[in-house]
């Protein structure tokens, strides 16, 4: 495990240095996640206004058999590889079906959070002891090269939770193209895309009154304080969410409520903030069929099938290599 963690710490240092030295300032949302961040995200997923988890859970519960049978390979079995597996709550619906219906498969969950990977592995060992699980800590783009090695039998790559939405369109096309390059003709990509909808519904999902999303967003500053010797006063930053219905882009910011100077010991960095200066922390892109079709075409993929929830808030698409 240690060999996989150390490079991540160096990446963390580099990206924090670059993000806070840039204008405008930015930090990656992937750094929200540690033990506390994972717990906060669990709370966010349980909030009534955060519809994404419930909608995708409904899709997987309603179409379990249909989706499962698309995945099945009767001759050689398959590798089910999930990027950004998190707590696996939704995936377990499929895993249970596959385990109970004589699928020959290995489940490979991959997540940037070591804590999430450990919890999920222990949890599955307890809940489904016969399941063959091969978990790994890693980032999407790091893992893509290794996926090419999975070429002995069918593989299904899953990306749930509309995690694709954290990437702007050019980066999403790059990501999808690299996934396509790892795929053989019989392989599948199963991916969740949050759909465009009433702008207020989107805003409410990222701006809860209880302040859980704010604490989650600020957790990147707490991590900088703890891991890199920073002296951010979290109370002096305000969580701010905006949504542009034209582009389908929701953006999260941390806004400095006063002018201040921050020092980060381990980076030997001093950061100056003007009053109301922002740190851009996350984008959450929203889609429609037209955009998803365009992304697929640009990436060398074709849509085999899509599934939606009863409110049509969310869709899971099944892609093949074109």
Poorest-pLDDT segment among 22-36, 134-148, 202-216: 134-148
Note whether 231 and 300 are same-domain residues: no
Share of the chain above pLDDT 90, in %: 80
Mean pLDDT of 256-283: 97
Report yes or no on 175 lying in a domain.
yes
Position 2 pLDDT exceeds 60: no
Alpha carbons 130 and 127: distance in angstroms, whole number: 9
Position 248 pLDDT exceeds 50: yes
Which comes out higher in pLDDT, residue 270 or 115? 270
What residues have CB less than 8 Å from 278, skipping those under 6 apart? 24, 25, 240, 253, 254, 255, 256
H or E element in which residue 172 lies: helix 169-181
Mean pLDDT of 9-22: 91
Q: What is the CATH number of the domain that holds 138?
A: 3.40.50.150
Note whether 72 and 177 are same-domain residues: yes
Report yes or no on 8 lying in a domain.
yes
What residues have CB less than 8 Å from 31, skipping those under 6 apart? 12, 15, 16, 220, 223
Note whether 274 and 317 are same-domain residues: no
Alpha carbons 212 and 258: distance in angstroms, whole number: 23
Note whether 249 and 233 are same-domain residues: yes
Which pLDDT score, from 0 to 100, does residue 136 have?
A: 87
Position 1 pLDDT exceeds 50: no
Residue count of the chain, please give it. 322
Note whether 122 and 179 are same-domain residues: yes
* Residue pLDDT, tens place only, 182-204: 999 999 999 999 999 999 999 99
> By residue range, what is the domain housing residue 296?
63-195+288-321
Mean pLDDT of 240-247: 96
Name the nearest CA neighbour of 281 among 247, 246, 245, 240. 240
Report yes or no on 57 lying in a domain.
no
Q: Mean pLDDT over all residues of the chain?
A: 92
Query: What's the domain count of the chain?
Result: 2
Q: Give the CA radius of gyration of the chain.
A: 20
pLDDT band at 4 (very low <50, low <70, confident <90, very high): very low
Mean pLDDT of 56-77: 95
Note whether 189 and 96 are same-domain residues: yes
Which pLDDT score, from 0 to 100, does residue 140 have?
A: 73
* Residue pLDDT, tens place only, 213-222: 999 999 999 9
Report yes or no on 89 lying in a domain.
yes
Report yes or no on 54 lying in a domain.
no
Per-residue CA distances from 56 to 99, 194, 238 (Å): 21, 9, 30
* Residue pLDDT, tens place only, 90-112: 999 999 999 999 999 999 999 88
Note whether 151 and 230 are same-domain residues: no
pLDDT band at 3 (very low <50, low <70, confident <90, very high): very low
Which pLDDT score, from 0 to 100, does residue 8 have?
A: 61
Note whether 304 and 169 are same-domain residues: yes
Note whether 116 and 180 are same-domain residues: yes
Note whether 208 and 180 are same-domain residues: no
Which pLDDT score, from 0 to 100, does residue 9 have?
A: 63
Note whether 88 and 217 are same-domain residues: no
Note whether 97 and 10 are same-domain residues: no
Which pLDDT score, from 0 to 100, does residue 114 have?
A: 85
Position 5 pLDDT exceeds 80: no
Report yes or no on 236 lying in a domain.
yes
Report yes or no on 94 lying in a domain.
yes
Which pLDDT score, from 0 to 100, does residue 262 have?
A: 97
Which pLDDT score, from 0 to 100, does residue 6 have?
A: 37
Report yes or no on 119 lying in a domain.
yes
Mean pLDDT of 133-158: 86
Which pLDDT score, from 0 to 100, does residue 188 have?
A: 97
Position 75 pLDDT exceeds 70: yes
């Amino acid at each position: 495990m240690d060999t996989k963690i150390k490079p991540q710490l160096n990446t963390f240092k580099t990206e924090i240095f670059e993000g806070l030295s840039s204008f405008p300032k930015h930090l990656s949302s992937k750094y929200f996640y540690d033990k506390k961040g994972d717990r906060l995200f669990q709370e966010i997923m349980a909030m009534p206004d955060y519809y994404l988890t419930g909608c995708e859970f409904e899709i997987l519960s309603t179409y379990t058999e249909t989706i499962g049978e698309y995945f099945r390979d009767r001759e050689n079995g398959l590798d089910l590889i999930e990027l950004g597996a998190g707590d696996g709550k939704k995936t377990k619906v499929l895993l249970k079906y596959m385990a109970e219906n004589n699928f020959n498969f290995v489940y490979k969950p991959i997540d940037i959070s070591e804590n999430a990977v450990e919890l999920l592995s222990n949890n599955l060992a307890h809940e489904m002891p016969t399941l063959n699980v091969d978990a790994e800590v890693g980032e999407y783009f790091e893992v893509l090269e290794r996926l090419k090695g999975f070429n002995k039998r069918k593989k299904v790559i899953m990306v749930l939770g509309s995690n694709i939405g954290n990437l702007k369109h050019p980066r999403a096309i790059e990501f999808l193209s690299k996934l396509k390059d790892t795929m053989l003709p019989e392989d599948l990509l199963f991916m969740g895309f949050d759909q465009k909808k009433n702008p207020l519904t989107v805003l409410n999902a990222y701006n809860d009154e209880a302040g859980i999303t704010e604490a989650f967003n600020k957790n990147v500053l707490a991590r900088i304080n703890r891991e890199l010797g920073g002296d951010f006063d979290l109370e002096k930053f305000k969580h701010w969410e905006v949504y542009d219905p034209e582009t389908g882009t929701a953006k999260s910011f941390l806004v400095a409520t006063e002018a201040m100077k921050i020092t980060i010991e381990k980076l030997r960095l001093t950061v100056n903030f003007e009053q109301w200066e922002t740190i851009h922390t996350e984008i959450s892109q929203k889609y429609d069929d037209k955009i998803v079709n365009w992304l697929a075409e640009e990436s060398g993929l074709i849509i085999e099938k899509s599934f939606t929830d009863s409110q049509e808030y969310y869709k899971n698409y099944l892609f093949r290599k074109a």
